[in-house]
Chains A and B, each alone.
Chain A
Amino acid sequence: MSVPEGKANDLLTNYDPGLYYDELFGGRDYPAEHSALIRQRLAGLNFGDLLRRSQDAERELYNLGITFLVYSNKDAVDRILPFDIIPRVISAKEWAHLEAGITQRVTALNLFLHDIYHDQKILKDGVIPADLVLGNGCFRPQMVGLDVPFDTYIHIMGTDLVRDREGTFRVLEDNGRVPSGVSYVVENRHMMQRVFPDLMQDIGIRPVDNYGHKLLDAMMEIAPQDVADPQVVLLSPGSYNSAYFEHIFLAREMGVPLVEGRDLVVENDRVYMKTTNGLARVDSIYRRIDDAFLDPKAFNPDSMLGVPGIMEAYRKGNVALANAIGTGVADDKAIYCYVPRMIKYYLDQEAIIPNVDTRICREADALQYTLDNLDKLVVKPVGEAGGYGITIGPRASKEELADCRAKLLADPSNYISQPVVDLSVCPTVTDDGIDPRHVDLRPFAITGKNTWVLPGGLTRVALKKGTLIVNSSQGGGSKDTWVLQDGGPQDGSQEGSAS
């Protein structure tokens, strides 16, 4: 790979984010001061050196087995999440705003879950259509009337944020079931410390490696109160799950056993794990298995991954589960549209981080609007994850649009539509030099008694030129995310980003 012309001396001279908001440079009118030193250091690098470091990082990820399984035809292949070594930088001020917004959102979603599994006031008051909640496949009648510690349902939350052309962060999606990706946040930092220590020198970056401690604290907090020294475990579907590396990572960081369904047994409504010395009590379970597979007695009877009887042990308060059962109804794409109203209803506050403008196609006028503007909108099925089934209007062919129209008309309540958000970009190493690529951000919040937000989050980057889809299953990569320390030498303000 040759060094592109004109970039040999200053790697960022020809860098052009176009009309998008840039995460390293800021908006056109507000050059980001907080990242000036980082830009200066990057600009002084040699492209060959950057590529070499980049390759070193990817090789190390592979060797360390920081991989996820991809299933293609019959084969399961180990893949690394491609890693880009140019960090995404967030100022202390921006972060304070995001942290407050995420905490607010988690609080509201937990209040919502408690409400719908108890008095259902929000439904009775007509703020959210009752059938949208009660008719939702993820609503678990087994949870009705059940109390959970601190009324916390979503202990681990991943909030997908995007930043529009004006630099405003918006919530794209809530992940309140089994959000994944946090292991990459920590491993990406470790990787940067190995391959790019000179870039990090004296910048004042908030650490991310205490996530495991915070998670363990929360898991201990929610354990049954009568247990003095609770046994925490992480329940995984097993080594063939695509997120298995993350399960390993979290179990190791917490210092707890990583168990599978077959390691657990329920006797007299108490959960035990099989050890070399017989059965040992389990008190608190961070489960990375969906509700439906958790207990063949209570949910999907065909599940081989779950633990028969665990739901009853949970109902009796003999074991804690994180996240709670039945949180899927809160992070549903259809419910998402109502979250700002939910925040208003429970907290009497405006949403600190706004949603992306969203239309619910089950509503007649929204459907009409969507059909009329199909070529300008993003249409998403509400039940899918991982970027599947999405139609991006402005980029779709006539056939794809016609197909989308037919699907909308056949089952309108299965879809929402949103305007295309011009995701912000970040300088990224490509074969052609440093080029802008679109990014999003998934911060992680842990809630036991209180909520704690990991400073930073997973920055996913769409590595293919022009594409907006950042999902790892569709060719996305990731970047280290630096939240700068408050009051640090580089703490600049970034007007126009907040609110």
Chain B
Amino acid sequence: MNLLARYAECIFWMARYMERAENLARILDVHETFARDTRGMTNWFSIVQLNADEKDFFSRHDRPTAEAVVHYYMFDTQNTNSLVSMLRMARENARVLRPWISTEMWTQINVFHNKLVEMNGKGVALPNLSKVCTWIKEECQTHTGITEGTFYRDQGWYFYQLGKYIERADQTTRLLDIKYHTLLPSPVVVGSTLDMSQWTTVLRSAAGYHAFRRVYPRGMSPTTVAGFMMFNEGFPRSVVMCVRQIDGLLTRLKSRYTLRNGSEAMEKVDELLGALLARPIEEVIQLGLHEYLDGVQAQLCGITIEIGRAFFGQDTVPMTQSQSQ
């Protein structure tokens, strides 16, 4: 059975937007609860930095107040990185895919999107933020569950998984990066109580705190946290774990459906995996974590471009989709 190139692209992006939405909900949720500075204030600005949205944000807001940042990332339709925009994009892709995906998948995304839009009218009071984020996270997980249980396993399934893991790997690097370049340069002493609580926040955002504790029952250091999130082979959100998945998916996709294209994408994945396995975390931090993460993000972006060239019938990824990287 042939898979229309455009469908493959839509499946890939639907998966990415749903994964991205889940990650953003996690970040907002954990931020509210744990990410406080020395005066107990939540540093909402770091989320703006995390998404590299400074320019767009300040074009419409003077200060990164809690209200402004939360609204900007929940409901601002002009912000392509807001939850409502992500859901809109996921839904538009799902709408195109309705002949291909299960009715349950479509219906859940449709209802989820519509509820979120309705909520915008009412506004979300900050004390309810955590509740709303939990709901969003659960809707995303429901999507994952419905997909697992109903998505017909053909080529489309591979593109779905590819999208999901590329997005997840990217999100994990961003999460680490923000901690690195917003918090480390601050006067907070490395290893202080506050510093540790912030690293805990990073882990919680990725639902990795308990897993981390299992691996490192005693103590916590920036190095062990970063190493865990980058290289752990069992943590479902670690970059290495995701890239291994991408590697396996591409190989199986190509061989099972005897697809002519995709060699360049596979080479890029091999390159990235090789780079990830080449250095221990200590060395990475010594050389500069931020630069390293930037490099990983660029490589993930390169993989996306090659997948687009190979399977989506295009030479470049359309701007509307790459701009929100």
Contact = CB atoms under 8 A, between A and B. Distances in A.
Interface of A: 62-65, 231, 239, 244, 248, 251-252, 257-260, 262-263, 273-278, 280
Interface stretch (B1-9, B68-76, B214-222, B227-235): B1-9
Interface of B: 2-8, 92, 95-96, 98-99, 103, 106-107, 110-111, 114, 155, 159, 257-261, 311-313
A274 B111 CA distance: 31
A65 B97 CA distance: 13
A263 B110 contact: no
A495 B70 CA distance: 68
Nearest to B92: A239
B98 A274 contact: no
B172 to A, nearest CB: 27
Contacts of B311: 276
B107 A259 contact: no
Given A275-B2, A277-B257, A239 B8 contact: no
B7 A257 contact: yes
B4 A63 contact: no
A276 B3 contact: yes
10 contacts: A63-B110, A64-B103, A231-B2, A244-B95, A252-B99, A258-B99, A263-B5, A273-B4, A276-B3, A280-B2
Nearest to A231: B2
Most A Cβ at <10 Å: residue of B8, B96, B98, B155 = B98
A275 B260 contact: no
A277 B107 contact: no
A78 to B, nearest CB: 9
Interface of chain A, helix or strand or loop or mixed? mixed
Contacts of B312: 276
B5 A276 contact: yes
Given A63-B107, A65-B107, A257 B2 contact: yes
A274 B110 contact: no
A208 B174 CA distance: 52
A55 to B, nearest CB: 16
A63 B5 contact: no
Contacts of B106: 64-65
B293 to A, nearest CB: 31
A394 to B, nearest CB: 42
Contacts of B111: 63
The 9 A-B pairs at the shortest CB distance, nearest first, are namely A251-B99, A248-B98, A275-B2, A276-B311, A252-B99, A274-B313, A274-B5, A258-B99, A280-B2
Contacts of A260: 6
Contacts of A276: 2-5, 8, 155, 159, 257, 259, 261, 311-312
